[in-house]
Amino acid sequence: MASDMNSRKSLADFRHDALQETSSTNSVCIERARAGDPGNLWVTAERQTGGRGRRGRPWVSEAGNLYASLLLIDPAPMDRLGSLPLAVAVAVHQAVRGVLPLAAEPAEIKWPNDILIGRKKTCGILIEGEALPDGRYALVIGIGVNVAVMPDNPMYPVTCLRQQGSMVSPDELFAHLYADMAEALGVWNCGKGVREITARWREFACGIGEKITVNLPDRSISGHFSGIDDNGLLMLETEDGRIMPIAAGDVFFR
């Protein structure tokens, strides 16, 4: 049964375990869930030795950046979980935007949930789920934000908050994220508030109306980014005028 995650949920409903070093904050959350943790648990680490991104890509995790994971237990019915990444992106974008100076380049959301500053990657989000033996469903939201360290990325241009003029520390950024995530999840409300979440997402979306290429597991396809539907699917207008919904892929601006 989904938990009652609604707008009445307060910051006090979440817990925080701060670690100096771990292999992966996502892995710690999954282990805690398997051991019976009730969820609403944040785990942060100053450094990760085995951080990972989407499709198992390594995520360089040296000290100086923010590495955080949030464990949720039964956050919504399974048919509503597809919109959760949008709520997560809205929260992380709000936290990042809130610590940038006015002179910084624009902070935008790149589908589905990367955060760009000046079209350079600043944050990655990895959401993982697991059905537990006791019948509960554990969902872990992993977030890595380049605060002071800017790792090389051969796929995308990258930046960090320090390069954008923000002197915020990882702990200070986490305080923003802690509050903004609670607010966004309250609005999302187990998937019932998806319309407001998608409206917020679209307000700060990067590249709507532009030509993009989407790398799928078996091919690449190009077209115009028409936007997203209420389930968070990317709507790609192909060269022959068809609208193709895409659930997962890597987006490149042309």
Q: How confident is the model at residue 2 (pLDDT cuts 50, 70, 90)?
A: very low
More confident residue, 164 or 54: 164
Task: Show the tokens assigned to 114.
Answer: 């990367």
> Measured between alpha carbons, how far is 79 from 38 in angstroms, rounded to an integer?
22
φ, ψ (nearest 5 deg) of residue 5:
-90, 90
Report strand pairing: 114-117 vs 66-73.
unpaired
**Identity of residue 201:** W
* Domain 11-203, CATH class in plain words: alpha beta
- Which residue from 26, 22, 28 is spatially nearest to 45, judged by alpha carbons? 22
Across the range 231-235, mean pLDDT stands at: 87
Domain positions in the chain are 11-203, 211-253
Instruction: Please give the mean pLDDT across all residues of the chain.
Output: 89
Q: Read out DSSP for 72-137?
A: EES-S-GGGGGGHHHHHHHHHHHHHHHHS-TTSPPEEEETTTEEEETTEEEEEEEEEEEE-TTS-E
Per-residue buried b or exposed e for 131-168, using 16+ beta carbons within 10 Å of the residue's own CB: eeeeebbbbbbbbbbbbbebeebeebebbbbbbbebeb
- Quote helix, strand, coil % in the chain, to nearest 5: 30, 35, 40
Q: How confident is the model at residue 230 (pLDDT cuts 50, 70, 90)?
A: confident
> Measured between alpha carbons, how far is 194 from 77 in angstroms, rounded to an integer?
13
Q: How confident is the model at residue 4 (pLDDT cuts 50, 70, 90)?
A: very low
Please report the pLDDT score of residue 3 as a whole number.
45
Residue 213 clears pLDDT 60, i.e. is over it: yes
- Which residue from 73, 51, 60, 61 is spatially nearest to 5, judged by alpha carbons? 73
User: Each residue of 5-18: pLDDT tens digit?
Assistant: 444 456 678 999 99
Please report the pLDDT score of residue 7 as a whole number.
41
User: Each residue of 111-156: pLDDT tens digit?
Assistant: 888 999 999 999 989 999 999 999 999 999 999 999 999 877 667 8
User: Each residue of 177-207: pLDDT tens digit?
Assistant: 999 999 999 999 888 888 999 999 999 999 8
Residue 57 clears pLDDT 70, i.e. is over it: no
Residue 138 DSSP code: E
Of the chain, the percentage scoring pLDDT greater than 90 comes to 64
CATH 2.30.30.100 fits 211-253, yes or no: yes
